[in-house]
Amino acid sequence: MIYNEILVRFGDLTLKGKNQNTFLRSLFKLVDKKMEELDGILVEHTHDRIFIHLNGVDHNLVLERLNRVSGLSSYSLVVECNDDINTIKETALALMQEVVVDKPVTFKVDTKRANKQYPLHSMEITKIVSGYVLSHHNLLKVDVHNPEVELFLEVRGGKCYLYNTTIRAMGGYPVGIAGKGLLMLSGGIDSPVAGYMAMKQGIQIEAIHFESTPLTSIESAQKVVDLVKKMALYAPNDKIMVHMIPFKEIHQAILEYVDDSYIITVMRRMMYRIATKMAEKHKCLCLVNGESVGQVASQTLGSMHCINSVTNIPVLRPLVTFDKQDIIAISKKIDCYDLSIKPFQDCCTVYLPKNPTTNPHEGKAQHYESLFDFEKMVDWAVENSNDIVIDASSDLDLSMYGLEVRDVLKEYWEERKNSESK
Ligand code: ATP
Ligand code: MG
């Protein structure tokens, strides 16, 4: 491959106003971190571009990592050369010889000249280079309106950058720049996608999972750990904190005291109450979840209204208007789908009431809640959350321990403490 560099763009900075510098600092830090493990790569930052000098490293390894950096708008595989016109001509020909090998194509040269001191105008450069390439490559024909292949030349800072395509990057804002949010993570298809969308928009996430082991299986909690590991690839430092909330007692109280039709409503109101307190405790400015209007009984507008009324912090629902097919496509893209469809039951699915209400009355929900001392239980759950940091390369295996996640994690911490003190 002739490419020796990747040119990375990050969109229109004028839109970022006063936050430009913060934006750039976060972005550079994210890119540097992702490139850290690739020996030989050299990352160069300028005020409006990042240049990644490959130095022989496979460009696919770099692209794979760039696709995990939010805030980048696009990138191109480029050949960099000096800006004297003869060198540009030769490099352009070499690139086109590599790109067009077997069948004839139409092409066009497009020149941008950032260096206004350069002795030739853009049109002159285009003319000279396309004339030279055409006369030395017999499979090319010019078509300025609808070319099959384009050759872009950017002359800037004593160099010329040559490339054929621009690939869209992740977009959005550098993760972390918008502050922290608490993602309600269930282990299904939707919530990891919601978390990814939030990170893409600049929100650093911590995850919260309500686990009811041993009412639910340890595998359902393991699934959450494994999903967080996948999502951590998009997080700052490849790490996400997950809060495992012991939910069994509340879950049992709900099954005992609440009418079947209100079980899901009350369960979700409890989740929101705990999540709100956890968000305050961990300085998260919002909740994020995978709800989408109309998907299930608890996601009608009536249900959402009744459930949402127990919290006063913003609840972001990145998927609220998404079709399931679109959610699945993103789930596959971020490599969570195969995990998400593993059939382990969590607390919302282990006992599914036959006729859940789609239009709950808040007074009724409050009535059922008054039948047990839920506030104490909520506070206890918050105090007894097990907080673990999962990184993209961690391999926490819950099944090695016991039946209840709370015991499992106790054992896990003990083991770690012991091994660290040795
Ligand atoms: P998902 O595919 O993410 O499981 P879903 O369509 O199954 O979503 P629900 O089970 O009604 O929908 O849950 C809606 C949202 O509530 C989830 O996307 C998630 O954000 C949150 N949630 C549900 N169960 C849990 C749980 N056990 N722990 C944490 N959050 C949960
Ligand atoms: Mg679910």
Q: What is the pLDDT of residues 140-196, one digit of tens each?
A: 999 999 999 999 999 998 999 999 999 999 999 999 999 999 999 998 999 999 999
Q: pTM of the entire structure? A: 0.90
Cα 251 to Cα 264: distance, rounded to the nearest angstrom: 10
Residues with CB under 5 A from ligand 2 (ion): 186, 188
pLDDT tens by residue, 252-277 = 899 999 999 999 999 999 999 999 99
- CA separation for the pair 341, 339 (Å, rounded): 6
Domains in the chain: ranges and CATH: 5-168 (3.30.2130.30), 179-421 (3.40.50.620)
Share of the chain residues as helix, strand and coil, in percent rounded to the nearest 5:
45, 20, 35
First to last CA, the chain: 50
Residues 6+ apart with CB under 8 A from 271: 184, 210, 247
Question: Which of 347, 348, 350 best tests ligand 1's pocket when mutated (most atoms within 8 Å of CB)?
Answer: 348
Return mean pLDDT, the chain. Answer: 91
417 pLDDT tier (thresholds 50, 70, 90)? low
Pocket residues: Cβ below 6 A from ligand 1: 184-186, 188-191, 208-210, 289-291, 295-296, 298, 346-348
Closest ligand to the CA of 184? 1
DSSP class per residue in 142-184: E-SSS-SEEEEEEEETTEEEEES--EE---S--TTTTEEEEEE
Quick one: pLDDT band at residue 124, thresholds 50, 70, 90?
very high
Work out the pLDDT band at 402, boundaries 50, 70, 90.
very low
Distance from Cα 84 to the centre of ligand 2, integer Å:
60
Is the Cβ–Cβ distance between 215 and 350 less than 8 Å? yes
The three-class DSSP label of residue 12 is coil
